[in-house]
Structure 1
Amino acid sequence: MPRRIQRIRNLFTKSIPGLQQEDVAAESSHTSTHRPTNRSTNRSTNRSTNRPPLEVLYPSPNLGVNNNIEVDIVAVHGLGSNVDWSWTWQDKKDHRPPVHWLKDPNMLPSVVPHARIIAYNYESRWHAHAPKIRLELCGEELVKSLHNFRTDTPERPIIFIAHSLGGLVVLHGLLYADRTEKLKYLPASTVGFAPLGTPFRGTKRQNLAKKVAWLMAPMGSHDGIITDLQQDGKHLADEVHAFSQLRNKLDIPTTCFFELYDSDYGKKIGLAGLAQGRVVEEESAHIPGWGREPLHTDHFKLNKFEGPDDRSFQAVSSELRDMCANRKRVIDRRQQITRDRHFMVPFGRNDNFVGRDTTLEQLLETVPPSANKDDCQRTAIEGLGGIGKTQIALETAYQVRDRYPDCSVFWVPAVDLASFENAYREIGRLLQLPNINDEKPDVKALVKMGLSHRNAGSWLLIIDNADDTNILFTSANLIDYLPFSREGSILFTTRNHEVTVKLDIPQGNSIAMPKMNDNDAAELLRIGLKESQVKDAESIRRLLDFLTNLPLAIKQASAYMALNTNVTVSQYLEFCESSNTDLIDLLSRQFEDRHRYKGHAKIQNPVATTWLISFDHISQRNPQAADFLKFICFLAEKDIPLSLLPVTSKIKMAEAVGSLKAYAFILERDTPDSFDMHRLVRLVMRNWLQREGQWEEWATKVVQRLTKEYPFPKHENRETWTKYLPHGQEVVKITGATTTGEETALLFNIAESYTFLGKYSEGEWLYRQTLRLREEVLGKKHPDTLGSMNNLALVLDQQGKYEEAEQMHRQTLRLKEEVLGKKHANILASMNNLAVVLNRQEKYEEAEQMHRQTLALREEVLGRDHPHITRSINNVARTLGCQGKYKEAEEILRLGRGRPGAVTSMDHLAEVIRSDGKYEEAEKLLALKPA
């Protein structure tokens, strides 16, 4: 190895926690029986693939089998070190033999004589000829090796002692074992953990180590094993957090030892004092809440003790002795906790539970009783029926059971008084409460008292479907029977935000169930379906969007397709989009779900039934809110203005809207004066109105309200009518809703709105509907009917449907003449409009005559100075110009100069003169135009 690289290696392998030269302890000769004859032999033997991963250091095989072994102590060295020298002390200035404190008869074996001491041997190099490996893999190999090694004594207690990064190897190993069914017994058998200078928060020198690994890459160095050491890195923090929960669950005695002295890195390359500092700072070497003890040494001597009188050895060995002595008590306590703990949950674990990671993490930080030792905290999951509240509460229950073995979990449905009392009675029997089996016990009071007593231990009480404010706060007043214990915690699921407020749950503990994201929704849909049913990705996206990613609706769809295996996602989507009747049929179908309630009249699987239960609650508590829901289900689902709701007092409106928001039937927008309605809620509500015979009543109320509020569209009120337009459009689709002449004004105004926006085809359809209804209700000669005819003709003209427009204008003109006479001002507009459409069809002579006739009648009826006179003059001139009669056009336009609207006439005159070749005169005329 080149001298420069050797020096870099010596410096940096000593500056990274646990990364040590493999031959440091062998710098001078010594007489230990385990010392290899030379360095090359040491290196070769230590790296031999034939060397077993676990080696017994004490008792020596030469002493025979020791039947008095009561505990296994497993030592794990740091990375970059080796199993032979990691635990050996030697001072090269001292001629005493090296001391291996794990197997020296005067050291640890004398302190814990009934312990079997084992060294874990694994490939830990990183700086030369290193395999590409990670800490997790080292940990997995550790527990797998222990599993294979301890076949005769699998239940024997284990204590781990680890130097530096070896502590992270133990951490990863126990986590892996806890997540692997056949290895779960290993963490359950662990009765002690003593990490020596383990960087639980990583190290500031990780980037330096990566650079050295890069520099030494030609020699086989990798940075894979040091990737996990980033200071306060998220991955390591997550694993330490998970291990803390495992440790708390099993109550593993743990003492973290940390260095008090700086390490001199430069001394390792003969440059003492060049680089000094703590390798692992105190805040990284222990976790808050764990045992901690300082050692009067530096990082490189945390795992090396010179003799029985070494005070660091005395501190470490004393902890190990206590762990050995208390092993039985620790195991017995775990078993007692397991025996006394109760798990009363009516459903099995949902193996198909997907997503909700953020919400689940938030719950698991909030609901365990240990999260707040000074209170019996209350937490609520809020959301629309079918959004997955019960399912996430169920997963929370199982995770609390797994992570906190001393915590009992009780599940209580609060859908009605009977279900609540039945669950409380079962809790009382599990707790063996006195008098619980009496003929007429006060079950609720007994259980409240039982769970409030400190003898009940740690518990989580889940109150599911806490929606009905009547039984919770009024008639049965169930809130009075909620227990209080500082070792307890209560989790509610509710559709009603009002419940959360009345329970006095702080905002930080109120968790609104978010919409399921697209990936999780797609995964939920695919469960149980054949690949051939879900191969169309676009159909999946559209179906999930149609179902608004609602878990219950997705589960219902999946269950239907699983039962009808010939139905694909695209076909199911077609069923949903074909008609509201088919969709309601699908949303109302029962389906098998083992993780939801059965046999209860108020708790059903179908989406439609689930929401109608909430509607029933609203109807009882706030009839005004129920009426609002009946009303708005006829409107568009987005951006519903409060100003369109039926008139009531401001207080009642605020309370009613608040109730609908509390049940998530309507959703807040950024602006406070409008809201959205859930698409499927609107559909279910419409179906309910039809089923209950209330459809026509509420359809008529909606049309009447919009007729009153929807203004005739003008530029000045554009903000209002553009906001009302989508709702008006939705309302006019209601069959049979508009039956009176007054209400057809709504159709007319909406048609005008479309025309104003240039959406002529939409306007045409509405004008035709308006005309048909007005003819039926008001008769063909009613002024409003004639107005609809005129506007329909205009919108036909705008679309280039000139022949139909001409016929409609002629019919309108004829009927107006019959009703109003030939000289009425209203007739003049029809004459003008007919002339315009004639001109568009190049029927210039007839158009000219009609415009001249209109001009003459306007002068007679309106007077020569009326602005409409100028308009007729321009129209006559334009028709003459189309025929090439420029002189006549010029003459008639000059007549219009000086009249109201003359500016337009001057423009037109200049255009006519230019068309006649008089360019200079046209320019002069335009120069005279007012600025």
Structure 2
Amino acid sequence: MPSYPQPGHQSISGISTTNGAQTVTGIVHGNVTNNGVLARPAPVAPKRVFTVPFRRDPDFIDRGDILARIDEICSQPAGRAALVGVGGVGKSQLAIEHAYRVKKHSPETRIFWVYASNAGRLQEAYKGIAQTLKLPGSEEATANNYKLVFDWLSNDDNGTWLMIIDNADDFKTASSDGEGSPHASLADYPPPQSANGSVLMTSRRKDIARQMVDREQDIIEISPMTNCEGTQLLRRKLRRKDPSDAAAEQLLNELDHFPLAISQAAAYINKNEHMSVLGYLFLFRNRREKLMKDPFPDPRRDKQASNAVFTTFQMSFEAIRAERPSAADLLSFMSVFNRQGIPGFMLRYYQDGSRNVGYANEVNLSQPLSRRKVPTEDNKRKRLVRALTKTLPSRQKQNTIPESSREPQNRPQNTAITRNGGDPSSWKPNQELDEELEADLAMLTSFSLISFTSDERDRAMPSSDARSVPGNENHATTYESPTNHSSGSGRLLDHQVLAMHGLVQQATREWLASESTEEGWFGRLTSAMAEELPNGWKYGTWDKCRTLLPHVQSMAERKPSQESNNREWVVLLRDAAYYLCLQGLYSQAEELARKSLDGCKKCFDLKEFDNASVVDVLGHIAYAKGDRSESEKWYRRALMIVTSSEGTSHPRAMGHMGNLASALRRQGKLAEAEEMLRQALAASKKALGVGHPDSLCGMRELALVLSKQGKYDEAEAMARTALAGMENVQGKEHIHTIRSVQVFARILHAQPEVPFAEVEKLYKRALAGFEKCYGPDHVSKMWTVFRLALLLQQQDRFAEAGTLYRRACAGYERFYGVEGVWTLGSVYGLALVLHQQQRFEDAGSLYERACAGYEKTLDGDYDKTMACMEDFSKLLEKQAPTSWFLDHYRDYLY
């Protein structure tokens, strides 16, 4: 019989009965009760315990230093580590692998696996541990197994142990104020901080992990796999042929490198004999929602946990909605953004002034913000409404541009489609809203559903250029939010950028679609973006435009189903298109503008007259691309729409006439352009006054046409007047003034007797002004660089001219490509400079490039082609080039 040397046991020898009838000899081991009855010996805990319910994964992929960090933390006395991350990211698989490694290197360590997904499973797990350890009293129905296990783990004489608490996602399970059993809480009886013990926890929630670990650095955030790790896992899981690197990378990008999604994809491919990785990729792109909702067998996942990726995510969504409905609203709102680069200042719109949105308030989300009613029964909400009324400007109030900072010409003419909003300087802080938003963000980050992308925060900060652009003094040049916050947390949020995983976003949208609320949230985003996106022609706001552009481009892929949002959607696309045009991204600009125009036609409350502003943008795009006839077509259409409704004397008509005249001038239709500009200028002077920016811009345009006709004296006088007027009204550094400087320089440069010193000074002033407004490499300044190079070349300052031609060529290549007309012009100019410097070999290769490009792209305009070829032949004959290039471009008024 084995010996059980336990406390309280006695060795008995030579016991006699009370009547002395018999003497018992020998040795008996056992417990003697108070009445002298020999009790059964107490059981002894097994020396080796391993309750991990999964076998080791032969396909496990080591993920950097995560296991080393776990081992380092848990090897310390009373070490506690927590693995935190969104569902399906591989937390439990890492815990399983750690358990097997501990078992191998320390076989005497008892290892316990505890399911903690809810109170019932936690109780069951502790009961199993108590019975495995054969703790006295654990068989009783009223046993407090938490205390029994706690006491045993606290006894250092019992040796070393490791407890793995898996899926501790339920706050009630971890909190001492949970419902149910009085002992259903980890907070009541957590694993003791014993020198012999260590704890490893997995959870989707960082806030729960913080209750278990001692230090923040002991919380290890688990992210999706790297591309290398994901490729290894995919290849190990696939039974058949090895996928190509390209196919594997494409699939992993679609799956966001989530281990659960990779395993699910491999299981589907393995199950279907004729399915390849590329075949699954095609199927996934077309049936993403269905594939991600289908479960697959995985012996190393909890039987009560879903193996379907989307279902796994949606379990988190449901938990958030149950605990904090406003956080579920925030997640819903964020899911309709582009998933990356979500600006923090936009998130305040997840709750509107009436607070009746989504899950926090079960009402009709499809109503536009301005039509929703305030619940009268909730005084707290009423206070929020009063604060938010100041925060969110009324959508019924049009936002007009102050005359001092308006772009009078060469911008989309703002017809009946107007930007809704209000004066940013009138927005007030709303600390209560910020505090609630911060709490909701904390909830979502705790669940690892969203993240702050610190590497993008600098990009979200307003630049010094944006703050310093003259002419924007009446506008908020920093885009902090719908509010101008004084609180520290508010300002911090204004400059933060957030992101969410693609699969999380897709799962959230599927969740919303199943509850018929996705369209309502898309309408909310449309309304919010309409408040925040600046008009593309308002300088000093381009940083903000750049931040919001990816989200507007994502929104362009779907038109709102709610008619009330159509108008806002059309305006968004129009303004984003013009911003893209200003950046030289013409194909993207045209795509958005055409979608906006199509939206105008289908929008029930937009009449034909309203199309003019969108048509105007298409004219600007064609104008900027150098497509003269196309720009004229669009400008004529816009002008016709306005004049047929408002007449030729309407201010909108004047702007459209100026745009059309510019297109006519570029095509050499000078008489028509002059007549149109004189008519528009007369109307502008009568309606607005001689010194109004619109009138001054009209004078500037007319001066160009007069110069092109050889009327140099009148052109120069008019250009000087326009420049002086702009300096007086707008200031010397305003963008409109800088444009007037450039035009005046071009007019002087085109004269028979060029005042070289004055023109050079003006060009350099224009360059400095454009660089301050646009940055050093914007396409808008390249024309001035080109013209300055031409001016220096005329003065035989070839080295300086060559440097500028190279700069212009590089700039034009970025925007127009290597065969763009302006790129080829810069190549031709540089070839001439090298020719004149007798660098014949270098000049010859550039002549060849320019000639080949002109033959391919000019489509019948042979002047440039023939001139370039003639100069190339002069080079081959070692003769001086012709003067065609200098004469043509000196007189060419862009």
Same fold (TM > 0.5): yes
Secondary structure of 1:344's match?
coil
Structure-to-structure mapping, 1:512-551, within 5 angstroms: 512-530=221-239, 532-534=241-243, 536-551=244-259
The answer to whether the Cα contact below 8 Å between 1:380 and 1:492 also exists between their aligned partners in 2 is yes
Decide whether aligned partners of structure 1 residues 898 and 423 sit closer, same or farther in structure 2, where only a CA change above 3 A counts: closer
1:554 counterpart residue number: 262
Secondary structure of 2:70's match?
helix
1:594 counterpart residue number: 299
Task: Measure how far apart 1:750 and its partner are.
Answer: 2.1
Structure-to-structure mapping, 1:239-278, within 5 angstroms: none
Secondary structure of 1:853's match?
helix
Structure-to-structure mapping, 1:407-806, within 5 angstroms: 407-454=109-156, 456-473=158-175, 474-475=177-178, 476-484=184-192, 485-530=194-239, 532-534=241-243, 536-576=244-284, 578-579=285-286, 582-598=287-303, 600=304, 603-647=305-349, 649-670=433-454, 671=457, 673-713=496-536, 714-736=538-560, 739-740=563-564, 741-742=567-568, 744-777=570-603, 784-806=610-632
Secondary structure of 2:81's match?
strand
Matched, 1:353 2:57: no
The answer to whether the Cα contact below 8 Å between 1:754 and 1:760 also exists between their aligned partners in 2 is yes
2:97 counterpart residue number: 395
Task: Measure how far apart 1:585 and its partner are.
Answer: 2.0
Counterpart selection for 1:835 from 635, 649, 661: 661
Equivalents in 1 of 2:697, 2:141: separation in Å? 96
The answer to whether the Cα contact below 8 Å between 2:674 and 2:706 also exists between their aligned partners in 1 is yes
Runs of 5+ consecutive residues of structure 2 not aligned to the other structure: 1-42, 179-183, 350-431, 458-491, 726-736, 766-894
1:902-923 per-position Cα deviation (integer Å, ceiling 9, x unaligned): 898898688668757x326x55
Decide whether aligned partners of structure 1 residues 562 and 495 sit closer, same or farther in structure 2, where only a CA change above 3 A counts: same
- Which structure would you say has the larger Rg? 1
1:45 counterpart residue number: none
Decide whether aligned partners of structure 1 residues 738 and 694 sit closer, same or farther in structure 2, where only a CA change above 3 A counts: closer
The answer to whether the Cα contact below 8 Å between 2:85 and 2:205 also exists between their aligned partners in 1 is yes
**Aligned partner letter, 1:761:** S
Task: Measure how far apart 1:926 and its partner are.
Answer: 5.2
User: Identity over aligned residues, as a percent?
Assistant: 29
Decide whether aligned partners of structure 1 residues 626 and 898 sit closer, same or farther in structure 2, where only a CA change above 3 A counts: closer
Task: Measure how far apart 1:738 and its partner are.
Answer: 6.5
Decide whether aligned partners of structure 1 residues 912 and 549 sit closer, same or farther in structure 2, where only a CA change above 3 A counts: closer
Equivalents in 2 of 1:765, 1:827: separation in Å? 26
Task: Measure how far apart 1:419 and its partner are.
Answer: 1.8
More relative contact order, 1 or 2 (CA 8 Å, 6+ apart): 2
1:561-592 per-position Cα deviation (integer Å, ceiling 9, x unaligned): 1112322222223333x34xx12222222112
**Aligned partner letter, 1:663:** F
Task: Measure how far apart 1:490 and its partner are.
Answer: 1.9
Equivalents in 1 of 2:682, 2:299: separation in Å? 85
**Aligned partner letter, 1:348:** R
Secondary structure of 1:490's match?
strand
Task: Measure how far apart 1:765 and its partner are.
Answer: 2.7
Equivalents in 1 of 2:601, 2:130: separation in Å? 74
Task: Measure how far apart 1:520 and its partner are.
Answer: 2.6
**Aligned partner letter, 2:291:** L
Task: Measure how far apart 1:651 and its partner are.
Answer: 1.9
Secondary structure of 1:491's match?
strand
The answer to whether the Cα contact below 8 Å between 2:609 and 2:641 also exists between their aligned partners in 1 is no
Equivalents in 1 of 2:70, 2:300: separation in Å? 19
Equivalents in 2 of 1:530, 1:685: separation in Å? 32
Task: Measure how far apart 1:656 and its partner are.
Answer: 1.2
TM-score scaled by structure 1? Answer: 0.58
Task: Measure how far apart 1:347 and its partner are.
Answer: 0.8
Decide whether aligned partners of structure 1 residues 357 and 825 sit closer, same or farther in structure 2, where only a CA change above 3 A counts: closer
Equivalents in 2 of 1:752, 1:587: separation in Å? 39
Task: Measure how far apart 1:644 and its partner are.
Answer: 0.4
Decide whether aligned partners of structure 1 residues 892 and 861 sit closer, same or farther in structure 2, where only a CA change above 3 A counts: farther
**Aligned partner letter, 1:403:** H
The answer to whether the Cα contact below 8 Å between 1:529 and 1:558 also exists between their aligned partners in 2 is yes
**Aligned partner letter, 1:382:** V
Equivalents in 2 of 1:545, 1:829: separation in Å? 48
Secondary structure of 2:187's match?
helix
Secondary structure of 2:677's match?
helix
Query: Structure 1 stretch 888-897 or stretch 743-752: which is displaced more?
Result: 888-897
1:269-315 per-position Cα deviation (integer Å, ceiling 9, x unaligned): xxxxxxxxxxxxxxxxxxxxxxxxxxxxxxxxxxxxxxxxxxxxxxx
Equivalents in 2 of 1:551, 1:657: separation in Å? 25
Task: Measure how far apart 1:897 and its partner are.
Answer: 4.5
The answer to whether the Cα contact below 8 Å between 2:556 and 2:573 also exists between their aligned partners in 1 is yes
Q: Which has the higher helix share?
A: 2
Task: Measure how far apart 1:686 and its partner are.
Answer: 0.9
The answer to whether the Cα contact below 8 Å between 2:59 and 2:236 also exists between their aligned partners in 1 is yes
Decide whether aligned partners of structure 1 residues 711 and 399 sit closer, same or farther in structure 2, where only a CA change above 3 A counts: same
Secondary structure of 2:299's match?
coil
Task: Measure how far apart 1:755 and its partner are.
Answer: 2.3
Decide whether aligned partners of structure 1 residues 913 and 733 sit closer, same or farther in structure 2, where only a CA change above 3 A counts: closer
Equivalents in 1 of 2:96, 2:265: separation in Å? 22
Counterpart selection for 2:651 from 817, 821, 825: 825
Structure-to-structure mapping, 1:157-196, within 5 angstroms: none
Task: Measure how far apart 1:793 and its partner are.
Answer: 2.4
The answer to whether the Cα contact below 8 Å between 1:779 and 1:785 also exists between their aligned partners in 2 is no
**Aligned partner letter, 1:510:** I
The answer to whether the Cα contact below 8 Å between 1:831 and 1:850 also exists between their aligned partners in 2 is yes
Decide whether aligned partners of structure 1 residues 871 and 492 sit closer, same or farther in structure 2, where only a CA change above 3 A counts: closer
Decide whether aligned partners of structure 1 residues 514 and 815 sit closer, same or farther in structure 2, where only a CA change above 3 A counts: closer
Equivalents in 1 of 2:745, 2:96: separation in Å? 82
Task: Measure how far apart 1:819 and its partner are.
Answer: 2.5
Equivalents in 2 of 1:905, 1:447: separation in Å? 84
The answer to whether the Cα contact below 8 Å between 2:745 and 2:762 also exists between their aligned partners in 1 is no
Secondary structure of 2:188's match?
helix
Decide whether aligned partners of structure 1 residues 590 and 543 sit closer, same or farther in structure 2, where only a CA change above 3 A counts: same
**Aligned partner letter, 2:315:** I
Equivalents in 2 of 1:758, 1:606: separation in Å? 45
The answer to whether the Cα contact below 8 Å between 1:337 and 1:406 also exists between their aligned partners in 2 is no
The answer to whether the Cα contact below 8 Å between 2:716 and 2:748 also exists between their aligned partners in 1 is no
Equivalents in 1 of 2:621, 2:308: separation in Å? 47
Task: Measure how far apart 1:867 and its partner are.
Answer: 4.9
Task: Measure how far apart 1:846 and its partner are.
Answer: 3.0
1:763-799 per-position Cα deviation (integer Å, ceiling 9, x unaligned): 2233333334345447565765432232232223333
Paired residues in the alignment total 579
Task: Measure how far apart 1:525 and its partner are.
Answer: 0.6
The answer to whether the Cα contact below 8 Å between 2:749 and 2:759 also exists between their aligned partners in 1 is no
The answer to whether the Cα contact below 8 Å between 1:865 and 1:900 also exists between their aligned partners in 2 is no
1:72 counterpart residue number: none
